[in-house]
Amino acid sequence: MENTTKTIFGRPVQMGKKTHRYIQVGELSNGSPIYIPLMVVQGERAGPVLWLCGATHGSELNGIFAMREIYLESDPKEISGTIVFTPIMNPMALIRRDNYSFLDGLDMDTQFPGKTNGFNTARIAFQIFSEIRKIASALVSFHAVSSLSYASPYTVSKNISGVSPKITEKTFRMALSFGLEPNCRVKVDNKKSVNSGEDKGSLDEICQLHGIPAFMAEIGIGGHWEKRHVAIAKKGIRNIMCIHEMIEGKPEIPENQIVIPRRKELSVNKGGFVEMFAKPGDVVREGEPYAQVVNLWEVVEVLKATEKMYMITTTSNPVVSSGGRIGFAGLEWSKAAEHGFRNVG
């Protein structure tokens, strides 16, 4: 959609202006309101509406600070279209420094499109998605990996059954244009969401099902304000603005960009302390050791790749029990150019 809409959450937005305010989305037992912050940059010229979301999980912070800096640095005179920022989607989780709201224990990214008569998290999700559905042309949902992990930033775009091929392709191209080296592409049956077994799911999935190209950007480590990763997220946002012709310029795309369609969790069989030999971005060949588990006097397990792997995340906490997760790896990948993708600038 183009930025002809003059109201967001029922509040007026003027062309050529920047606005910020709090939007009430609920109420606590003592009568205190629950707010989410809203920022809008309305360009001087007509164009698409790019919606940026953060802290769907309250521990995932780098996207918040990237959005803050983009908002402060943006000049409406230089923008065609509108940028809408909802950097703190899940305020009750943010307060707790946790992924889930302390009011109902729900994962917001399994609750979209939300419910008017649901639990608190679902009600907030409904209010936000109702606005997204009305005006968004494209959406980026910012996340981060666990605070117990290391990871290089990566994107996740989903190929969802029931979504038009046009929206699927736009989503994929948009994720690649964000400009990160690793890019996961996941097949999803919309009858069984990636994150839940119900007819509800993550924000990016539900957006696609409603005709809005949307993907996830996993930026850095949860619970941390990492300025290096904030800068990467900002560059990604500007890349997306470039391909939508919201600003002048060309997107910056890495030469070694890859697409990962198949991946798996890595876990240990023995308890003790894990020593990782591989780090995010490493390629581990079949038969090579990527980690070992030790106790206080000996090595109890050596973990070797059963097939070639691209390391996406690795644990940062050595304490493990049997079945404990120690990483996440791509099992199949190819160059983005093999998918017909080139630097669209």
Count of C-beta atoms within a 10 Å radius of residue 295: 12
Distance from the Cα of residue 193 to its chain's centroid: 16
- Between CA 329 and CA 184 the distance in angstroms is 10
Name the residue with tokens 């941390």. Answer: 224
Count of C-beta atoms within a 10 Å radius of residue 210: 16
Q: Does the reported pTM lie above 0.75? A: yes
CA-nearest of 235, 258, 275 to 312 is 258
- Between CA 211 and CA 138 the distance in angstroms is 9
Q: Give residue-wise pLDDT tens across range 64-121.
A: 999 999 999 999 999 999 999 999 999 999 999 999 999 999 999 999 999 999 999 9
| DSSP output for 7-63 | EETTEE--TT-EEEEEEEEEE-TTSPEEEEEEEEEE-SEEEEEEEEE--SSTT--HH
When mean pLDDT is compared across 6-15, 47-56, 231-240, 266-275, the lowest value belongs to: 6-15
Q: Delineate the domains of the chain, giving CATH numbers in brackets.
A: 7-243 (3.40.630.10), 262-337 (2.40.50.100)
Q: Give residue-wise pLDDT tens across range 145-173.
A: 999 999 999 999 999 999 999 999 999 99
Where residue 193 falls among pLDDT bands split at 50, 70, 90? very low
Residue 1 in this model has a pLDDT that exceeds 80: no
Residues in CB range of 136: below 8 A, 6 or more apart? 1, 49, 50, 51, 84, 207, 212
- Cβ burial, residue 261 (10 Å; 0-12/13-18/19+): middle
Q: Average of pLDDT values for 2-10?
A: 74
Residue 195 in this model has a pLDDT that exceeds 60: no
